[in-house]
Chain A
Amino acid sequence: MSKKRRIVSIVVFAVIILAILAGIYLLGKPQPKAEDLRETMRDAVLHEYMKVSLFGIKDVNPSLISAFAVTGILTVFALICRIFVIPRFTEIPGKFQMVLEALVDYFRNLGKTNSPEKHKLLSAYVFTAGVYIFVGTMFELFGIQAITTSGVSISLPAPLADINGAIAMGCMSYLFILFGGIANNGIHGFLGTIKEFSLPLSMSFRLFGALLSGALVTELVYYASFLSYGVPVIVGVLFTLLHALIQAYVLTLLVSIFYGEVSEKKLQKPKKRKRKSKAIVATDNTAENNTEVNTENSTITPEVSK
Protein backbone atom coordinates (compact mmCIF):
# COMPACT_ATOMS: atom_id res chain seq x y z
CA MET A 1 0.00 0.00 0.00
CA SER A 2 2.65 2.45 1.12
CA LYS A 3 4.87 1.38 -1.75
CA LYS A 4 2.12 2.00 -4.25
CA ARG A 5 1.41 5.34 -2.70
CA ARG A 6 5.01 6.33 -2.92
CA ILE A 7 5.18 5.39 -6.57
CA VAL A 8 1.99 7.30 -7.26
CA SER A 9 3.24 10.41 -5.51
CA ILE A 10 6.56 10.28 -7.37
CA VAL A 11 4.74 9.99 -10.67
CA VAL A 12 2.42 12.87 -9.77
CA PHE A 13 5.32 15.11 -8.85
CA ALA A 14 7.20 14.18 -12.03
CA VAL A 15 4.16 14.98 -14.16
CA ILE A 16 3.69 18.35 -12.42
CA ILE A 17 7.33 19.29 -12.85
CA LEU A 18 7.32 18.24 -16.50
CA ALA A 19 4.16 20.28 -17.08
CA ILE A 20 5.73 23.35 -15.49
CA LEU A 21 8.90 22.90 -17.57
CA ALA A 22 6.82 22.56 -20.71
CA GLY A 23 4.95 25.70 -19.74
CA ILE A 24 8.19 27.57 -19.24
CA TYR A 25 9.45 26.42 -22.62
CA LEU A 26 6.25 27.23 -24.46
CA LEU A 27 5.36 30.54 -22.84
CA GLY A 28 8.62 32.32 -22.39
CA LYS A 29 10.77 32.88 -25.41
CA PRO A 30 14.36 33.40 -24.24
CA GLN A 31 15.15 37.08 -23.94
CA PRO A 32 17.76 38.44 -26.27
CA LYS A 33 20.99 38.46 -24.36
CA ALA A 34 21.75 41.81 -22.78
CA GLU A 35 25.44 41.29 -23.17
CA ASP A 36 27.67 39.36 -25.46
CA LEU A 37 29.81 36.58 -23.97
CA ARG A 38 32.90 37.88 -25.67
CA GLU A 39 32.30 41.35 -24.34
CA THR A 40 31.76 40.07 -20.79
CA MET A 41 34.96 38.08 -20.91
CA ARG A 42 36.87 41.03 -22.25
CA ASP A 43 35.44 43.32 -19.62
CA ALA A 44 36.22 40.87 -16.81
CA VAL A 45 39.88 41.24 -17.76
CA LEU A 46 40.11 44.86 -18.81
CA HIS A 47 37.24 46.54 -16.93
CA GLU A 48 36.59 49.08 -19.67
CA TYR A 49 32.87 49.56 -19.12
CA MET A 50 31.89 47.99 -15.83
CA LYS A 51 33.12 50.59 -13.40
CA VAL A 52 31.77 51.46 -10.00
CA SER A 53 31.84 54.92 -8.57
CA LEU A 54 33.88 55.13 -5.35
CA PHE A 55 31.89 57.64 -3.29
CA GLY A 56 31.71 59.83 -6.36
CA ILE A 57 35.43 60.49 -6.24
CA LYS A 58 36.63 58.16 -8.91
CA ASP A 59 35.32 55.42 -11.13
CA VAL A 60 37.08 52.24 -10.04
CA ASN A 61 36.99 48.57 -10.93
CA PRO A 62 34.36 46.66 -8.94
CA SER A 63 37.01 44.52 -7.27
CA LEU A 64 38.28 47.54 -5.36
CA ILE A 65 34.83 47.84 -3.84
CA SER A 66 35.03 44.13 -3.03
CA ALA A 67 38.41 44.69 -1.39
CA PHE A 68 36.98 47.43 0.82
CA ALA A 69 33.97 45.26 1.61
CA VAL A 70 36.23 42.35 2.57
CA THR A 71 38.27 44.63 4.81
CA GLY A 72 35.06 45.89 6.39
CA ILE A 73 33.75 42.39 6.99
CA LEU A 74 37.05 41.25 8.46
CA THR A 75 37.29 44.35 10.63
CA VAL A 76 33.84 43.72 12.06
CA PHE A 77 34.71 40.06 12.58
CA ALA A 78 38.01 40.91 14.29
CA LEU A 79 36.33 43.48 16.52
CA ILE A 80 33.62 41.03 17.53
CA CYS A 81 36.29 38.45 18.30
CA ARG A 82 38.35 40.96 20.24
CA ILE A 83 35.43 42.23 22.29
CA PHE A 84 33.29 39.16 22.84
CA VAL A 85 35.39 36.06 22.23
CA ILE A 86 39.00 36.62 23.18
CA PRO A 87 38.36 37.88 26.73
CA ARG A 88 36.40 34.68 27.33
CA PHE A 89 39.16 32.38 26.16
CA THR A 90 39.62 29.41 28.45
CA GLU A 91 42.54 27.13 29.14
CA ILE A 92 40.64 24.26 27.57
CA PRO A 93 39.50 25.76 24.26
CA GLY A 94 35.94 25.62 23.01
CA LYS A 95 35.03 25.06 19.37
CA PHE A 96 35.32 28.64 18.13
CA GLN A 97 38.44 29.28 20.16
CA MET A 98 39.87 26.11 18.64
CA VAL A 99 39.28 27.46 15.12
CA LEU A 100 40.91 30.80 15.89
CA GLU A 101 43.85 29.15 17.59
CA ALA A 102 44.33 26.66 14.79
CA LEU A 103 44.32 29.52 12.27
CA VAL A 104 46.86 31.59 14.18
CA ASP A 105 48.94 28.55 14.99
CA TYR A 106 49.07 27.41 11.37
CA PHE A 107 50.50 30.72 10.15
CA ARG A 108 52.85 31.00 13.10
CA ASN A 109 54.22 27.57 12.32
CA LEU A 110 54.49 28.45 8.64
CA GLY A 111 56.59 31.48 9.56
CA LYS A 112 58.60 29.60 12.15
CA THR A 113 59.53 26.67 9.93
CA ASN A 114 60.54 28.80 6.96
CA SER A 115 62.34 31.54 8.84
CA PRO A 116 63.47 30.17 12.19
CA GLU A 117 65.39 33.30 13.22
CA LYS A 118 62.97 36.12 12.51
CA HIS A 119 59.37 35.18 12.14
CA LYS A 120 57.25 37.49 14.28
CA LEU A 121 56.38 39.99 11.57
CA LEU A 122 56.42 37.35 8.86
CA SER A 123 53.84 35.24 10.71
CA ALA A 124 51.59 38.26 11.13
CA TYR A 125 51.96 39.12 7.44
CA VAL A 126 51.21 35.64 6.14
CA PHE A 127 48.29 35.44 8.54
CA THR A 128 46.78 38.61 7.11
CA ALA A 129 47.58 37.67 3.52
CA GLY A 130 46.16 34.18 3.91
CA VAL A 131 42.97 35.39 5.55
CA TYR A 132 42.56 38.18 2.98
CA ILE A 133 43.01 35.91 -0.01
CA PHE A 134 40.75 33.20 1.39
CA VAL A 135 37.95 35.48 2.51
CA GLY A 136 38.33 37.68 -0.57
CA THR A 137 37.91 34.71 -2.86
CA MET A 138 35.01 33.32 -0.88
CA PHE A 139 33.42 36.77 -1.06
CA GLU A 140 32.74 36.10 -4.74
CA LEU A 141 30.33 33.34 -3.75
CA PHE A 142 27.97 35.68 -1.91
CA GLY A 143 27.30 37.61 -5.09
CA ILE A 144 26.79 40.96 -3.40
CA GLN A 145 25.44 43.42 -5.92
CA ALA A 146 26.87 46.75 -6.96
CA ILE A 147 25.58 49.31 -9.44
CA THR A 148 27.96 50.25 -12.18
CA THR A 149 28.27 53.75 -13.56
CA SER A 150 26.34 52.61 -16.62
CA GLY A 151 23.45 51.65 -14.34
CA VAL A 152 23.82 47.88 -14.69
CA SER A 153 23.82 45.72 -11.57
CA ILE A 154 26.74 43.33 -11.24
CA SER A 155 27.78 40.92 -8.53
CA LEU A 156 31.07 41.89 -6.93
CA PRO A 157 34.00 39.74 -8.00
CA ALA A 158 36.92 38.60 -5.85
CA PRO A 159 39.27 41.51 -5.00
CA LEU A 160 42.24 39.68 -6.46
CA ALA A 161 40.50 38.72 -9.69
CA ASP A 162 41.36 42.26 -10.75
CA ILE A 163 44.77 43.05 -12.16
CA ASN A 164 45.22 46.05 -9.87
CA GLY A 165 44.44 44.10 -6.72
CA ALA A 166 46.70 41.23 -7.75
CA ILE A 167 49.56 43.61 -8.57
CA ALA A 168 49.10 45.37 -5.25
CA MET A 169 49.20 42.05 -3.41
CA GLY A 170 52.22 40.74 -5.29
CA CYS A 171 54.20 43.97 -5.02
CA MET A 172 53.41 44.37 -1.33
CA SER A 173 54.57 40.84 -0.69
CA TYR A 174 57.75 41.57 -2.61
CA LEU A 175 58.33 44.79 -0.71
CA PHE A 176 57.71 42.95 2.52
CA ILE A 177 60.34 40.36 1.61
CA LEU A 178 62.71 43.16 0.61
CA PHE A 179 62.11 44.91 3.93
CA GLY A 180 62.73 41.67 5.83
CA GLY A 181 65.95 41.08 3.92
CA ILE A 182 67.27 44.58 4.59
CA ALA A 183 66.21 44.61 8.24
CA ASN A 184 67.74 41.27 9.05
CA ASN A 185 70.61 40.93 6.64
CA GLY A 186 71.50 44.44 5.45
CA ILE A 187 72.96 44.72 1.99
CA HIS A 188 73.07 40.94 1.55
CA GLY A 189 69.35 40.72 2.15
CA PHE A 190 68.75 43.57 -0.27
CA LEU A 191 70.80 41.92 -2.98
CA GLY A 192 69.23 38.54 -2.26
CA THR A 193 65.78 40.03 -2.80
CA ILE A 194 66.74 42.05 -5.87
CA LYS A 195 68.04 38.83 -7.39
CA GLU A 196 64.46 37.55 -7.37
CA PHE A 197 63.26 40.50 -9.47
CA SER A 198 60.67 38.36 -11.25
CA LEU A 199 58.97 37.52 -7.97
CA PRO A 200 56.47 40.41 -7.83
CA LEU A 201 55.46 39.76 -11.42
CA SER A 202 55.02 36.04 -10.90
CA MET A 203 53.14 36.46 -7.64
CA SER A 204 50.83 39.13 -9.06
CA PHE A 205 49.99 37.25 -12.20
CA ARG A 206 49.62 33.92 -10.47
CA LEU A 207 46.94 35.42 -8.25
CA PHE A 208 45.32 37.33 -11.08
CA GLY A 209 45.30 34.40 -13.46
CA ALA A 210 44.08 31.85 -10.96
CA LEU A 211 41.26 33.92 -9.56
CA LEU A 212 40.17 35.39 -12.87
CA SER A 213 40.15 32.00 -14.56
CA GLY A 214 38.01 30.65 -11.73
CA ALA A 215 35.52 33.42 -12.25
CA LEU A 216 35.60 33.02 -16.02
CA VAL A 217 35.04 29.27 -15.89
CA THR A 218 32.01 29.79 -13.69
CA GLU A 219 30.75 32.49 -16.06
CA LEU A 220 31.22 30.23 -19.07
CA VAL A 221 29.29 27.45 -17.39
CA TYR A 222 26.46 29.91 -16.80
CA TYR A 223 26.48 30.96 -20.42
CA ALA A 224 26.08 27.45 -21.79
CA SER A 225 22.36 27.03 -21.14
CA PHE A 226 22.40 23.22 -20.98
CA LEU A 227 25.05 23.43 -18.24
CA SER A 228 23.30 26.11 -16.25
CA TYR A 229 21.06 23.73 -14.30
CA GLY A 230 22.67 22.41 -11.16
CA VAL A 231 26.19 22.31 -12.57
CA PRO A 232 27.16 25.88 -11.53
CA VAL A 233 26.33 24.98 -7.94
CA ILE A 234 29.08 22.41 -7.93
CA VAL A 235 31.51 24.06 -10.34
CA GLY A 236 31.15 27.58 -8.95
CA VAL A 237 31.37 26.64 -5.30
CA LEU A 238 34.03 24.01 -5.77
CA PHE A 239 36.24 26.18 -7.99
CA THR A 240 35.95 29.14 -5.68
CA LEU A 241 36.67 27.09 -2.61
CA LEU A 242 39.64 25.38 -4.24
CA HIS A 243 41.06 28.66 -5.51
CA ALA A 244 40.59 30.29 -2.16
CA LEU A 245 42.47 27.53 -0.37
CA ILE A 246 45.17 26.97 -2.97
CA GLN A 247 45.98 30.61 -3.61
CA ALA A 248 46.04 31.49 0.08
CA TYR A 249 48.32 28.53 0.68
CA VAL A 250 50.63 29.21 -2.27
CA LEU A 251 51.11 32.92 -1.65
CA THR A 252 51.73 32.56 2.09
CA LEU A 253 54.11 29.68 1.49
CA LEU A 254 56.03 31.58 -1.18
CA VAL A 255 56.29 34.71 0.93
CA SER A 256 57.52 32.79 3.95
CA ILE A 257 60.02 30.75 1.93
CA PHE A 258 61.55 33.82 0.26
CA TYR A 259 61.45 35.80 3.48
CA GLY A 260 63.24 32.99 5.29
CA GLU A 261 65.80 32.78 2.52
CA VAL A 262 66.71 36.45 2.47
CA SER A 263 66.53 37.02 6.24
CA GLU A 264 68.66 33.98 7.01
CA LYS A 265 72.04 34.94 8.43
CA LYS A 266 74.61 34.00 5.85
CA LEU A 267 77.64 32.27 7.37
CA GLN A 268 80.06 33.37 4.68
CA LYS A 269 83.21 34.00 6.73
CA PRO A 270 83.54 30.47 8.16
CA LYS A 271 83.07 29.12 4.65
CA LYS A 272 86.04 31.11 3.40
CA ARG A 273 88.15 29.87 6.26
CA LYS A 274 87.22 26.33 5.47
CA ARG A 275 88.30 26.76 1.90
CA LYS A 276 91.60 28.22 3.03
CA SER A 277 92.25 25.41 5.49
CA LYS A 278 91.43 22.90 2.79
CA ALA A 279 93.97 24.55 0.51
CA ILE A 280 96.57 24.37 3.28
CA VAL A 281 95.82 20.73 3.83
CA ALA A 282 96.11 20.03 0.15
CA THR A 283 99.52 21.66 -0.13
CA ASP A 284 100.96 20.43 3.17
CA ASN A 285 101.99 16.90 3.98
CA THR A 286 99.80 14.28 5.63
CA ALA A 287 101.36 14.55 9.11
CA GLU A 288 100.00 18.08 9.50
CA ASN A 289 96.68 16.85 8.29
CA ASN A 290 96.63 14.28 11.09
CA THR A 291 97.42 16.85 13.75
CA GLU A 292 94.64 19.03 12.43
CA VAL A 293 92.20 16.17 12.65
CA ASN A 294 93.35 15.55 16.20
CA THR A 295 92.83 19.14 17.22
CA GLU A 296 89.42 19.06 15.63
CA ASN A 297 88.56 15.96 17.61
CA SER A 298 89.78 17.52 20.81
CA THR A 299 87.60 20.54 20.21
CA ILE A 300 84.59 18.39 19.53
CA THR A 301 84.86 16.07 22.53
CA PRO A 302 84.16 18.60 25.27
CA GLU A 303 80.99 19.61 23.54
CA VAL A 304 79.89 16.02 23.38
CA SER A 305 80.70 15.50 27.03
CA LYS A 306 78.60 18.50 27.93
Chain B
Amino acid sequence: MKVPLNIDWQQILLHALNFTILFAVLYFFLYKPVKDFMEKREASYKQQHDEAEQALADAKKTKEEYEAKIAGAEEEISVMKSEAGAKAAEERGKMLEQTRQEAAGILETAKKRGEIEHDKIIAEAQKEIADIVTTATEKIVLSADVKKSYDEFLKSAEGNTKNE
Protein backbone atom coordinates (compact mmCIF):
# COMPACT_ATOMS: atom_id res chain seq x y z
CA MET B 1 0.00 0.00 0.00
CA LYS B 2 1.34 3.37 -0.99
CA VAL B 3 1.08 5.80 1.92
CA PRO B 4 0.79 9.50 1.00
CA LEU B 5 3.77 11.77 1.71
CA ASN B 6 5.99 8.69 1.89
CA ILE B 7 5.13 8.12 5.51
CA ASP B 8 7.16 5.18 6.81
CA TRP B 9 5.72 3.53 9.92
CA GLN B 10 9.01 1.92 10.77
CA GLN B 11 10.76 5.28 10.76
CA ILE B 12 8.02 6.78 12.91
CA LEU B 13 8.62 4.04 15.44
CA LEU B 14 12.36 4.64 15.20
CA HIS B 15 11.76 8.32 15.92
CA ALA B 16 9.54 7.33 18.85
CA LEU B 17 12.21 4.99 20.17
CA ASN B 18 14.78 7.75 19.82
CA PHE B 19 12.60 10.16 21.73
CA THR B 20 11.88 7.64 24.48
CA ILE B 21 15.59 7.03 24.97
CA LEU B 22 16.18 10.76 25.03
CA PHE B 23 13.41 11.16 27.59
CA ALA B 24 14.94 8.56 29.88
CA VAL B 25 18.44 10.01 29.52
CA LEU B 26 17.40 13.62 30.10
CA TYR B 27 15.10 12.69 32.95
CA PHE B 28 17.64 10.67 34.89
CA PHE B 29 20.80 12.60 34.10
CA LEU B 30 19.64 16.18 33.87
CA TYR B 31 16.10 16.92 34.93
CA LYS B 32 15.83 14.86 38.10
CA PRO B 33 19.16 15.79 39.71
CA VAL B 34 18.64 19.49 39.04
CA LYS B 35 15.06 19.29 40.30
CA ASP B 36 16.14 17.39 43.40
CA PHE B 37 18.84 19.91 44.10
CA MET B 38 16.40 22.78 43.74
CA GLU B 39 13.84 21.09 45.95
CA LYS B 40 16.45 20.35 48.57
CA ARG B 41 17.57 23.93 48.55
CA GLU B 42 13.99 25.15 48.75
CA ALA B 43 13.36 22.85 51.69
CA SER B 44 16.50 24.02 53.44
CA TYR B 45 15.54 27.65 52.94
CA LYS B 46 12.06 26.91 54.18
CA GLN B 47 13.51 25.23 57.23
CA GLN B 48 15.76 28.21 57.82
CA HIS B 49 12.81 30.51 57.47
CA ASP B 50 10.76 28.45 59.90
CA GLU B 51 13.62 28.35 62.36
CA ALA B 52 14.10 32.07 62.13
CA GLU B 53 10.41 32.63 62.68
CA GLN B 54 10.45 30.30 65.68
CA ALA B 55 13.46 32.13 67.11
CA LEU B 56 11.72 35.45 66.54
CA ALA B 57 8.60 34.25 68.32
CA ASP B 58 10.73 32.97 71.21
CA ALA B 59 12.56 36.25 71.42
CA LYS B 60 9.28 38.15 71.48
CA LYS B 61 7.99 35.94 74.23
CA THR B 62 11.11 36.39 76.33
CA LYS B 63 11.02 40.09 75.71
CA GLU B 64 7.46 40.29 76.97
CA GLU B 65 8.38 38.24 80.00
CA TYR B 66 11.29 40.48 80.81
CA GLU B 67 9.23 43.58 80.26
CA ALA B 68 6.68 42.28 82.76
CA LYS B 69 9.50 41.48 85.14
CA ILE B 70 10.97 44.95 84.76
CA ALA B 71 7.61 46.56 85.39
CA GLY B 72 7.26 44.51 88.60
CA ALA B 73 10.75 45.48 89.66
CA GLU B 74 10.04 49.14 89.03
CA GLU B 75 6.96 48.99 91.21
CA GLU B 76 8.94 47.29 93.93
CA ILE B 77 11.62 49.90 93.66
CA SER B 78 9.13 52.73 94.00
CA VAL B 79 7.63 51.11 97.09
CA MET B 80 11.06 50.66 98.57
CA LYS B 81 11.96 54.23 97.70
CA SER B 82 8.93 55.65 99.48
CA GLU B 83 9.62 53.46 102.49
CA ALA B 84 13.20 54.54 102.60
CA GLY B 85 12.12 58.19 102.25
CA ALA B 86 9.77 57.90 105.21
CA LYS B 87 12.45 56.22 107.27
CA ALA B 88 14.96 58.88 106.39
CA ALA B 89 12.52 61.66 107.28
CA GLU B 90 11.88 60.04 110.64
CA GLU B 91 15.59 59.68 111.26
CA ARG B 92 16.20 63.24 110.29
CA GLY B 93 13.47 64.44 112.63
CA LYS B 94 15.00 62.48 115.47
CA MET B 95 18.44 63.80 114.77
CA LEU B 96 17.16 67.34 114.50
CA GLU B 97 15.43 67.01 117.83
CA GLN B 98 18.55 65.60 119.42
CA THR B 99 20.69 68.33 117.99
CA ARG B 100 18.32 70.96 119.18
CA GLN B 101 18.39 69.54 122.66
CA GLU B 102 22.15 69.39 122.59
CA ALA B 103 22.36 72.93 121.37
CA ALA B 104 20.03 74.07 124.13
CA GLY B 105 22.22 72.28 126.69
CA ILE B 106 25.36 73.91 125.35
CA LEU B 107 23.70 77.33 125.37
CA GLU B 108 22.58 76.78 128.93
CA THR B 109 26.04 75.82 130.18
CA ALA B 110 27.57 78.70 128.22
CA LYS B 111 25.18 81.12 129.89
CA LYS B 112 25.93 79.73 133.30
CA ARG B 113 29.64 79.93 132.71
CA GLY B 114 29.27 83.48 131.46
CA GLU B 115 27.41 84.48 134.58
CA ILE B 116 30.02 82.91 136.82
CA GLU B 117 32.76 84.71 134.91
CA HIS B 118 30.83 87.95 135.14
CA ASP B 119 30.38 87.58 138.87
CA LYS B 120 34.02 86.73 139.24
CA ILE B 121 35.16 89.84 137.32
CA ILE B 122 32.86 92.09 139.30
CA ALA B 123 34.11 90.62 142.53
CA GLU B 124 37.73 91.14 141.45
CA ALA B 125 37.00 94.71 140.46
CA GLN B 126 35.40 95.42 143.77
CA LYS B 127 38.35 93.94 145.52
CA GLU B 128 40.73 96.10 143.52
CA ILE B 129 38.72 99.24 144.19
CA ALA B 130 38.80 98.39 147.83
CA ASP B 131 42.56 97.93 147.65
CA ILE B 132 43.03 101.25 145.89
CA VAL B 133 40.85 103.00 148.47
CA THR B 134 42.84 101.49 151.38
CA THR B 135 46.21 102.42 149.86
CA ALA B 136 44.97 105.91 149.15
CA THR B 137 43.62 106.30 152.67
CA GLU B 138 46.82 105.00 154.09
CA LYS B 139 48.86 107.48 152.11
CA ILE B 140 46.62 110.38 153.16
CA VAL B 141 46.77 109.33 156.73
CA LEU B 142 50.52 108.99 156.61
CA SER B 143 51.34 112.26 154.79
CA ALA B 144 48.73 114.37 156.53
CA ASP B 145 49.04 116.81 153.71
CA VAL B 146 45.47 116.79 152.91
CA LYS B 147 45.63 118.69 149.71
CA LYS B 148 48.51 116.67 148.37
CA SER B 149 47.09 113.46 149.48
CA TYR B 150 43.77 114.41 147.99
CA ASP B 151 45.49 115.01 144.70
CA GLU B 152 47.37 111.83 144.95
CA PHE B 153 44.18 109.99 145.68
CA LEU B 154 42.67 111.41 142.57
CA LYS B 155 45.74 110.60 140.51
CA SER B 156 45.88 107.05 141.70
CA ALA B 157 42.16 106.64 141.05
CA GLU B 158 42.65 108.09 137.57
CA GLY B 159 45.59 105.80 136.90
CA ASN B 160 43.61 102.84 138.00
CA THR B 161 40.79 103.67 135.73
CA LYS B 162 43.27 104.22 132.96
CA ASN B 163 44.88 100.89 133.71
CA GLU B 164 41.66 99.11 133.68
**Is B21 at the interface (CB under 8 A from chain A)?**
yes
A128-B31 in contact (CB<8A): yes
The interface bits of chain B over 24-36 (1 if a CB of A lies within 8 angstroms of the residue's CB, else 0) are: 0111011111110
Q: Is B7 engaged at the interface, CB distance under 8 Å to the other chain? A: yes
Report whether A168 and B16 are in contact in the complex, using a CB–CB cutoff of 8 Å: yes
Q: Is the interface of A mostly helix, strand, loop or mixed?
A: helix
Q: Cβ of B22 and Cβ of A104 under 8 Å apart?
A: no
The CA of A172 and the CA of B27, in the complex, are separated in Å by 16
B: interface residue count bin: 20 to 34
The answer to whether A74 and B22 have CB atoms under 8 Å apart is yes
Q: Bits for B4-17, please: 1 = Cβ < 8 Å to A, else 0.
A: 01111011111110
Contacting pair A104 B34 (CB below 8 A): yes
Which residues of A (148-187) have their CB < 8 Å from a CB of B?
A: 159, 162-165, 167-169, 171-172
Bound CA span A75–B22, Å: 7
Q: In the complex, which residues 54-92 of chain B have their Cβ closer than 8 Å to any Cβ of chain A?
A: none
Indicate if the CB atoms of B5 and A46 lie closer than 8 Å. yes
A185-B91 Cα distance, complex, nearest whole Å: 94
**Are B18 and A163 interface neighbours, CB within 8 A?**
no
B5 to chain A, nearest CB (A): 5
Stretch among A58-66, A269-277, A293-301 lining the B interface: A58-66
Cα distance A171–B34 when bound, in Å? 28
Q: Indicate if the CB atoms of B19 and A132 lie closer than 8 Å.
A: yes
Instruction: Give the residues from 122 to 165 in chain A that come closer than 8 angstroms, CB to CB, to chain B.
Output: 123-125, 127-128, 131-132, 159, 162-165
Q: Are B26 and A67 in contact (CB under 8 A)?
A: no
Nearest 4 A/B pairs, CB to CB: A168-B15, A78-B29, A164-B11, A82-B29
- What residues of chain A have their CB less than 8 Å away from a CB belonging to chain B? 45-48, 58, 60-61, 64, 67-68, 70-71, 74-75, 77-79, 81-82, 86, 89, 91, 100-101, 104-105, 108, 123-125, 127-128, 131-132, 159, 162-165, 167-169, 171-172
Binding site for A on B (CB under 8 A): 5-8, 10-16, 18-23, 25-27, 29-35, 37-38, 41, 44
